[in-house]
């Protein structure tokens, strides 16, 4: 029995009455939203139960994706879309007098991630369920997600993200599945029955409570689990004594220290801070997650030798790499296996994804910190390191000199990437260029020792959210042209290629883009009071604010245009709207100065009579998944301009091409593979190659000052930063000025300026020829199918995990 508006409306009315005691006329949007969730759960939960039961019956191998971040955004549209009921609900809501968009937007973004790494984890979960693969997420239920960004006088201000202030509708608390995680204490070693035995004393007990979120597959009945752990205190071991009132205060101290563990997400992206609480979070995730997995495993299977056949532990970057010694600890101490047995199992069960080669992002924890917090793990890491170094010494004499650089423990630090590589059977990069840099440079000696471990899995994004859901009108045009096969098999988008020059499709696609721009323009007008031209080129730079992502280079182009317009008021410039969305880590001073500069430039540009009709600059506050969903469908130009070699993959690039934007980008990360697929004539490539960047770094022959002295455009722009043009208090801009000249422009902004300006001129020239632009746009959409995370996940499933769909 298929549902219709006529059958759904009464159900929703009934739910409003039974849950909130409200009639349709009285109900608020929030109550309607919550009623939808309650109705949805009535169909999701039985399928969830059945899916898990099927996995047990079939003895399926299960993947657990351990990640400190899951940047889910809203789930309501995804869950409705995947249930095949999105349009039904939209129609029903409208018929009942509600605005569907307003109702859906009652759901707050689950912002449990910083950026690309966390969003990747969320796309992977969607693909796992949609491909009916037995794969689940393990993460932390941070009470506060990534901070909310406000802009005050052009400066970023951070506010707490209290995303749990209303109930989180999708989660189910599973108190009965709590796990105890132990911190600190001492380890006593004794000899019993010819065996060394390790007793852990005086540790702090932390209760890990799982909250499960169902991950619904697209038009199938598969529902996998995202398990998010919350830290709570326990009174079990406290002996409250009426004669000792201070016990109560001890307890309160303990409770506060425990609850801090899952209190907030660290807001650093691609930067390692070395905070003890962060290390506690990492172990908390690893220990709770692993114990719960092994408890299930033991219920079903007798022998731990089966573990690598039944379980894969995929770690998202090194953050969960304590999983290696933690698994060893459980196998050795709790299960009584020998070191050799335990190591064989561990090495075959853990797989590691590397996400960056930036040295400031590499995790290394002081030995003393690890020893204090996890005394038994410390002993195990020591043993792993000893054995690894010995193996190098004897089996790889050619690497003897490199042992200090390869060791897990060196100069008082524990190197988590080394631990992860030594302890796993697969080491993957996230785009081909990135994997090649790992193999040939950053991790070269490890590739000599473990050549079979290294592999590439180019990132992807779920086309269900990033096309079908955010841009339904474009999806309709595609379906009208090539049929709907692409929805289940995104590689079929390729069939669009032969329609790239079709005038009717071009016209329809242009219409959809224009409608999307009008919607965005309305939003921008409402939010910021800025009027943008909906016929202008919409040029978007949306991602975390980072030196290597070079928002500054984009800004230099804007200031260049500004100078040009002022010098020549009749300059024939095609109108352009530059949109920025970016959060800076709260402690990243340079990044915050760039935000201030963007806003200062926007103020000037948007108000200058000779500029404002040609160039507009909008900094959109609080860049997060739901904001990306508004911006991306309206974009013409996708800024992917990182210093070559620095961006491991990027996924924003994929979302934008899938929505018909053309990329202006460097030969970095997945841009390389985008170019390869769409062809060089359908992307605007510029700048140094990664090899050229490495060569300048190696030879030390780049002199930023020469570019300031010799390129009058650059000098004119940079002088504006320090002569109080953009603000009368611009110490911040002096800092940017100095980082370019005296710190010798670490990210080659000045070096790439000229070729960037040329590429931008090519963008404008091409845009003026609409049919040529639309042809390129269609070709980009046609090749975006490859960048669906369905493809990525199928590669993981086949090459790393060895798992099959369970239908
Ligand atoms: C996709 C996405 C990112 C990653 O963007 P990049 O351009 O790949 O750095 C970051 N934040 C949000 C909210 C996203 O949706």
Q: Over the stretch 31-58, which tens digit does the pLDDT of each residue have?
A: 999 999 999 999 999 999 999 999 999 9
Residue 549, pLDDT above cutoff 80: yes
Confidence at 728, pLDDT banded by 50, 70, 90: confident
Domain assignment of residue 443, yes or no: yes
Domain count, the chain: 2
**Number of the ligand 1 atom closest to the C-alpha atom of 628:** 15
Domain assignment of residue 339, yes or no: yes
Among residues 280, 544, 583, 675, which one is catalytic?
Answer: 544
Out of 111, 461, 470, 628, give the residue to mutate to test ligand 1, the one with the largest number of ligand atoms within 8 Å of its CB.
628
Out of 265, 652, 653, 789, give the residue to mutate to test ligand 1, the one with the largest number of ligand atoms within 8 Å of its CB.
652
Q: Among positive and negative, which fits the CA dihedral 722, 727, 731, 733?
A: negative
Burial of 676 (0-12, 13-18, 19+ CB in 10 A): middle
CA separation for the pair 722, 480 (Å, rounded): 55
Residue 239, pLDDT above cutoff 70: no
Evaluate: CB of 669 within 6 angstroms of ligand 1. Answer: no
CA separation for the pair 376, 188 (Å, rounded): 9
Residue 92 CA, ligand 1 centroid: distance in Å: 33
Confidence at 584, pLDDT banded by 50, 70, 90: very high
Closest residue CA from atom 6 of ligand 1:
652
Residue for token pair 């109550």: 31
CA angle 341, 346, 349 (to 5 degrees): 130
Q: What is the structure's pLDDT at 245?
A: 65
Residue 243, pLDDT above cutoff 80: no
CA separation for the pair 631, 718 (Å, rounded): 30
The strands making up 409-410's β-sheet, listed across from edge to edge, are 364-366, 413-415, 409-410
Which residues are bridge partners to 111 per DSSP? 71
CA separation for the pair 619, 598 (Å, rounded): 7
Q: Which residues, in sequence order, are CB contacts of 116 under 8 Å at separation 6+?
A: 459, 543, 544, 649, 650, 651, 652
734 in the same domain as 709: yes
Q: What is the structure's pLDDT at 321?
A: 98
Residue 246, pLDDT above cutoff 80: no
**Number of the ligand 1 atom closest to the C-alpha atom of 624:** 13
Q: Which residues, in sequence order, are CB contacts of 240 under 8 Å at separation 6+?
A: 247, 248, 251
pLDDT tens digits for range 188-199: 999 998 889 999
Domain assignment of residue 445, yes or no: yes
Q: What is the structure's pLDDT at 423?
A: 98
Evaluate: CB of 226 within 6 angstroms of ligand 1. Answer: no
Residue 115 CA, ligand 1 centroid: distance in Å: 5
Residue 317 has which token pair?
Answer: 């970057």
Domain assignment of residue 424, yes or no: yes
717 in the same domain as 677: yes
Residue 356 CA, ligand 1 centroid: distance in Å: 15
Among residues 74, 543, 546, 616, which one is catalytic?
Answer: 543
Burial of 366 (0-12, 13-18, 19+ CB in 10 A): middle
Domain assignment of residue 514, yes or no: yes
**Number of the ligand 1 atom closest to the C-alpha atom of 71:** 13
Evaluate: CB of 136 within 6 angstroms of ligand 1. Answer: no
Evaluate: CB of 464 within 6 angstroms of ligand 1. Answer: no
Q: What is the structure's pLDDT at 242?
A: 61
Indicate if 643 belongs to the active site: no
For residues 79-100, give the mean pLDDT. Answer: 97
Residue 233, pLDDT above cutoff 90: no
Among residues 222, 225, 318, 651, which one is catalytic?
Answer: 651
Among residues 655, 751, 776, 791, which one is catalytic?
Answer: 655
336 in the same domain as 200: yes
Q: What is the structure's pLDDT at 94?
A: 98
Evaluate: CB of 460 within 6 angstroms of ligand 1. Answer: no
Indicate if 549 belongs to the active site: yes
Residue 749, pLDDT above cutoff 70: yes
694-700 LR contacts (CB < 8 Å, sep 24+): 694/441, 694/645, 696/748, 696/751
CA separation for the pair 490, 493 (Å, rounded): 6
Evaluate: CB of 651 within 6 angstroms of ligand 1. Answer: yes
pLDDT tens digits for range 450-465: 999 999 999 999 999 9
pLDDT tens digits for range 309-343: 999 999 999 999 999 999 999 999 999 999 999 99
Closest residue CA from atom 15 of ligand 1:
625
What CATH number has the domain bearing residue 610?
3.40.50.2000
Residue 91, pLDDT above cutoff 80: yes
Out of 119, 643, 650, give the residue to mutate to test ligand 1, the one with the largest number of ligand atoms within 8 Å of its CB.
119
Evaluate: CB of 625 within 6 angstroms of ligand 1. Answer: yes
Lowest mean pLDDT among 229-238, 486-495, 789-798: 229-238
For residues 201-228, give the mean pLDDT. Answer: 97
For residues 65-85, give the mean pLDDT. Answer: 97
Cβ-based neighbour number of residue 379 at 10 Å = 16
384 in the same domain as 235: yes
Q: What is the structure's pLDDT at 355?
A: 98
Closest residue CA from atom 8 of ligand 1:
650
Q: What is the structure's pLDDT at 204?
A: 95
Closest residue CA from atom 10 of ligand 1:
115
Q: What is the structure's pLDDT at 236?
A: 73
Domain assignment of residue 799, yes or no: no
DSSP state of 441: I
pLDDT tens digits for range 115-165: 999 999 999 999 999 999 999 999 999 999 999 999 999 999 999 999 999
- Above pLDDT 90, what percent of the chain? 96
Residue 496, pLDDT above cutoff 80: yes
Average pLDDT of the chain is 97
Closest to 305 in 3D by CA, of 280, 260, 338: 338
- Phi–psi pair at 350, nearest 5 degrees: -95, 140
Residue 430 CA, ligand 1 centroid: distance in Å: 14
Residue 241, pLDDT above cutoff 90: no
Domain assignment of residue 318, yes or no: yes
Cα dihedral 285/464/269/289 (nearest 10)? 10
Evaluate: CB of 657 within 6 angstroms of ligand 1. Answer: no
585 in the same domain as 515: yes
**Secondary structure (3-state) at 443:** coil
Among residues 355, 464, 541, 751, which one is catalytic?
Answer: 355
Closest residue CA from atom 5 of ligand 1:
652
**Secondary structure (3-state) at 152:** strand
Closest residue CA from atom 7 of ligand 1:
652
Residue 533, pLDDT above cutoff 90: yes
Give the pairing of strands 195-201 and 186-192: antiparallel
Lowest mean pLDDT among 44-48, 420-424, 503-507, 726-730: 726-730
CA separation for the pair 276, 702 (Å, rounded): 38
Q: What is the structure's pLDDT at 566?
A: 98
Evaluate: CB of 624 within 6 angstroms of ligand 1. Answer: yes
309 in the same domain as 241: yes
CA atoms within 13 A on the CB side of 197: 10
Out of 112, 629, 638, 651, give the residue to mutate to test ligand 1, the one with the largest number of ligand atoms within 8 Å of its CB.
651
**Secondary structure (3-state) at 289:** helix
483 in the same domain as 415: no
**Number of the ligand 1 atom closest to the C-alpha atom of 640:** 7
Domain assignment of residue 473, yes or no: yes
Q: Which residues, in sequence order, are CB contacts of 425 under 8 Å at separation 6+?
A: 347, 348, 349, 350, 351, 453
Indicate if 355 belongs to the active site: yes
Measured in whole angstroms, the distance separating CA 276 from the mean position of its chain's CA atoms is: 23
For residues 364-386, give the mean pLDDT. Answer: 98
488 in the same domain as 409: no
For residues 283-290, give the mean pLDDT. Answer: 98
pLDDT tens digits for range 376-433: 999 999 999 999 999 999 999 999 999 999 999 999 999 999 999 999 999 999 999 9
CA separation for the pair 205, 228 (Å, rounded): 19
Residue 455 has which token pair?
Answer: 């592999």
Evaluate: CB of 329 within 6 angstroms of ligand 1. Answer: no
Indicate if 518 belongs to the active site: no
For residues 679-703, give the mean pLDDT. Answer: 98
Among residues 141, 549, 593, 783, which one is catalytic?
Answer: 549
**Number of the ligand 1 atom closest to the C-alpha atom of 116:** 4
565 in the same domain as 424: no
Give the pairing of strands 204-216 and 172-173: antiparallel
Residue 660, pLDDT above cutoff 70: yes
Query: What is the extent of the structural domain holding 393?
Result: 171-428+436-455
295 in the same domain as 262: yes
Residue 711 CA, ligand 1 centroid: distance in Å: 33
CA separation for the pair 217, 224 (Å, rounded): 8
Evaluate: CB of 789 within 6 angstroms of ligand 1. Answer: no
Confidence at 249, pLDDT banded by 50, 70, 90: confident
495 in the same domain as 406: no
**Number of the ligand 1 atom closest to the C-alpha atom of 542:** 7
CA separation for the pair 199, 26 (Å, rounded): 62
Evaluate: CB of 113 within 6 angstroms of ligand 1. Answer: no
For residues 667-678, give the mean pLDDT. Answer: 98
For residues 503-515, give the mean pLDDT. Answer: 98
Which residues are bridge partners to 192 per DSSP? 195
CA separation for the pair 643, 647 (Å, rounded): 8
Residue 542 CA, ligand 1 centroid: distance in Å: 7
Closest to 121 in 3D by CA, of 72, 155, 83, 157: 72
Evaluate: CB of 145 within 6 angstroms of ligand 1. Answer: no
Closest to 133 in 3D by CA, of 232, 230, 65, 40: 65
Residue 71 CA, ligand 1 centroid: distance in Å: 10
604 in the same domain as 587: yes
Residue 504 has which token pair?
Answer: 């009717």
Evaluate: CB of 654 within 6 angstroms of ligand 1. Answer: no
Evaluate: CB of 650 within 6 angstroms of ligand 1. Answer: yes
Cβ-based neighbour number of residue 386 at 10 Å = 13
Out of 73, 113, 115, give the residue to mutate to test ligand 1, the one with the largest number of ligand atoms within 8 Å of its CB.
115
Which residues are bridge partners to 685 per DSSP? 665
**Number of the ligand 1 atom closest to the C-alpha atom of 549:** 9
Residue 679 has which token pair?
Answer: 């062809």
For residues 620-640, give the mean pLDDT. Answer: 98
Out of 70, 111, 116, 579, give the residue to mutate to test ligand 1, the one with the largest number of ligand atoms within 8 Å of its CB.
116
């Amino acid at each position: 029995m298929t549902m219709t508006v006529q059958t759904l409306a009464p159900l929703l009315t009934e739910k409003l009455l039974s849950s909130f005691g409200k009639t349709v006329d009285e109900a608020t949007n929030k109550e309607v939203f919550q009623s939808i969730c309650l109705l949805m759960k009535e169909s999701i939960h039985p399928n969830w139960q059945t899916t898990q039961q099927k996995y047990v019956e079939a003895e399926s191998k299960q993947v657990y994706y351990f990640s400190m971040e899951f940047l889910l955004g809203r789930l309501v549209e995804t869950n409705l879309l995947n249930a095949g009921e999105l349009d039904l609900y939209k129609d029903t809501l409208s018929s009942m007098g509600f605005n569907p968009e307003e109702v859906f937007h009652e759901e707050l973004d689950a912002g449990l991630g910083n950026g690309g790494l966390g969003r990747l984890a969320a796309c992977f979960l969607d693909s796992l369920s949609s491909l009916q693969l037995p794969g689940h997420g393990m993460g932390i239920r941070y009470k506060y997600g990534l901070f909310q960004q406000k802009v005050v006088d052009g400066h970023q201000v951070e506010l707490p993200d209290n995303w749990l202030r209303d109930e989180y509708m999708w989660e189910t608390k599973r108190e009965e599945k709590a796990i105890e995680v132990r911190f600190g204490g001492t380890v006593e070693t004794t000899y019993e029955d010819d065996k060394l035995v390790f007793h852990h004393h005086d540790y702090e007990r932390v209760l890990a409570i799982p909250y499960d979120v169902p991950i619904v597959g697209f038009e199938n009945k598969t529902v996998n689990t995202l398990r998010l752990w919350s830290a709570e205190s326990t009174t079990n071991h406290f002996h409250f004594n009426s004669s000792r009132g201070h016990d109560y205060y001890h307890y309160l101290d303990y409770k506060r220290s425990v609850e801090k563990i899952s209190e907030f997400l660290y807001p650093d992206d691609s930067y390692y801070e070395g905070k003890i609480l962060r290390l506690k979070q990492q172990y908390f995730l690893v220990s709770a997650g692993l114990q719960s997995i092994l408890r299930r495993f033991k219920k079903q299977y007798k022998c731990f030798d089966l573990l690598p056949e039944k379980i894969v532990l995929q770690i998202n970057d090194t953050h969960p790499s304590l999983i290696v010694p933690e698994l060893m600890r459980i196998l050795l101490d709790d299960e009584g296996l020998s070191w050799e047995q335990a190591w064989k199992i561990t090495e075959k069960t853990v797989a590691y994804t590397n996400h960056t080669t930036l040295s400031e992002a590499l995790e290394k924890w002081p030995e003393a910190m690890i020893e204090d917090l996890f005394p038994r793990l410390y002993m195990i890491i020591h043993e792993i390191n000893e054995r690894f170094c010995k193996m190098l010494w004897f089996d790889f004499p050619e690497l003897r000199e490199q042992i200090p650089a390869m060791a897990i423990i060196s100069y008082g630090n524990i190197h988590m990437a080394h631990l992860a590589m030594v302890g796993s059977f697969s080491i993957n990069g996230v785009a081909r260029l990135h994997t090649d840099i790992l193999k040939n440079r950053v991790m070269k000696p490890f590739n000599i020792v473990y050549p079979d471990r290294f592999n590439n899995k180019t990132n992807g994004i779920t086309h269900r959210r990033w096309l079908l859901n955010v841009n339904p009108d474009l999806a309709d045009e595609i379906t009208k042209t090539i049929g709907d096969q692409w929805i289940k098999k995104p590689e079929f988008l390729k069939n669009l290629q032969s329609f790239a020059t079709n005038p009717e499709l071009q016209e329809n696609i242009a219409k959809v883009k224009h409608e999307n721009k009008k919607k965005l323009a309305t939003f921008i007008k409402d939010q910021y009071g800025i009027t943008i031209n909906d016929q202008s080129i919409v040029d978007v730079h949306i991602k975390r604010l980072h030196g290597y992502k070079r928002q500054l280079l984009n800004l230099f182009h804007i200031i260049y245009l500004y100078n040009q317009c002022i010098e020549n008021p009749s300059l024939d410039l095609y109108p352009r709207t530059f949109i920025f969305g970016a959060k800076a880590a709260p402690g990243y001073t340079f990044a915050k100065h760039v935000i201030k500069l963007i806003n200062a430039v926007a103020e000037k540009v948007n108000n200058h009579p000779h500029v404002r009709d040609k160039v507009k600059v909008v900094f959109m506050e609080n860049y997060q998944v739901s904001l990306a969903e508004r911006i991306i469908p309206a974009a013409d130009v996708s800024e992917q301009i990182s210093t070559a070699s620095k961006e491991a993959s990027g996924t924003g690039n994929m979302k934008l091409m899938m929505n018909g934007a053309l990329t202006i980008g460097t030969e970095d990360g997945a841009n390389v593979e985008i170019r390869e697929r769409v062809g060089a004539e359908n992307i605007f490539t510029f700048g140094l190659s990664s090899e050229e960047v490495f060569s300048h770094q190696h030879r030390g022959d780049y002199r930023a000052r020469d570019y300031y002295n010799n390129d009058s455009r650059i000098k004119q722009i940079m002088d504006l930063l320090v002569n109080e043009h953009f603000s009368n208090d611009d110490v911040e801009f002096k800092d940017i000025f100095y980082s370019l000249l005296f710190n010798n422009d670490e990210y080659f902004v000045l070096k790439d300026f000229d070729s960037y300006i040329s590429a931008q001129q090519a963008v404008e020239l091409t845009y003026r020829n609409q049919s040529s632009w639309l042809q390129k746009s269609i070709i980009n959409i046609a090749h975006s199918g490859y960048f669906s995370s369905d493809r990525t996940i199928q590669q993981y499933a086949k090459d790393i995990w060895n798992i099959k769909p369970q239908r």
